[in-house]
Structure 1
Amino acid sequence: MVFQRPNPFPTMSIYDNILAGNRLNARRMKKSQADDIVEKSLKGANLWNEVKDRLGKPGMGLSGGQQQRLCIARAIAVEPQVLLMDEPCSALDPISTSAIEDLIHELKTDYTIVIVTHNMQQAARVSDETGFFNLKATGEPGQLVEFNPTKKVFSNPDEPSTEAYISGRFG
């Protein structure tokens, strides 16, 4: 799970942040195996070249965008089938947002990625399929209004309420 705001473990080094999930799951490994997991995960998150010389430094010392990529590296280190991202760019500047979106495109070849976003442009840029949820008029929890390929949702949605939201007529 990758949250809205980067959340590296504050008392851990970059190296230990990456291995936290494996250690939590009691995966015992040799130092060389741990080193390989750290390098592979950081490369997978396009962060290796930026941090390879300071793996023993705290993850909190990185920029916001780097911290978010560290959290992505930590998530993929356990080799999940599904990677859930809850507004992973909401607290980032445009350059870091672009880096995360590029990373999403790379990662979706190896992982099923579910991203929650309120940014319609981002949904159009990074997703293959889009689900539109909307609150009920009664204030009850929302419901799935439409789920289709992203191009269809943004060009010719099936549901009038989807069209109204995308065109800015409500929301």
Structure 2
Amino acid sequence: MHEARTISIEVNGVLREAAAEPRIHLADFLRHTLGLTGTHIGCEHGVCGACTVLLDGASVRSCLTLAVQAHGRTVTTIEGVAAPDGALHPLQAALAAHHGLQCGYCTPGVVMTLIELQRELDGQPIEEPAVRKALAGNLCRCTGYQGMVDAALSVLNAQQTTAMEGSAP
């Protein structure tokens, strides 16, 4: 057994320090050491996407990332997505409104994937095939994906719709 190391990670805007064995995955560290159980562990092979978190703004599979690899970096989990007053992120609200979630097991990973996509788009429009491609790494057995896609399109293209509505005929 390897000796635990103290690591410092900014998680959801809060600097956290805790001991981590060099072999512990970030998902287990978040869930068991820090008590952030919103990150779900599905396949433990990086295939299903349930464990997706943002590491320095980029999506990673936390079941394939070692906690020590996150030392000195910034992690955003599903617990850090809602506003401080508890208001849902627009993507979370849209998933609920468009029936893009059912059992909820895949939802945290889907939300994190869509947040990264939203950042990458930077207000540019997106079409359904591109949303489906972005979600291809998130497996869901409940929804059939259409509600997820509709939710994503409603939020990701909202700025484009607003700009079009404001233009003269």
Q: Which of these two proteins has the greater Rg computed from alpha carbons? A: 1
Q: TM-score, normalising length from structure 1?
A: 0.27
Give 1 or 2: higher helix fraction. Answer: 1
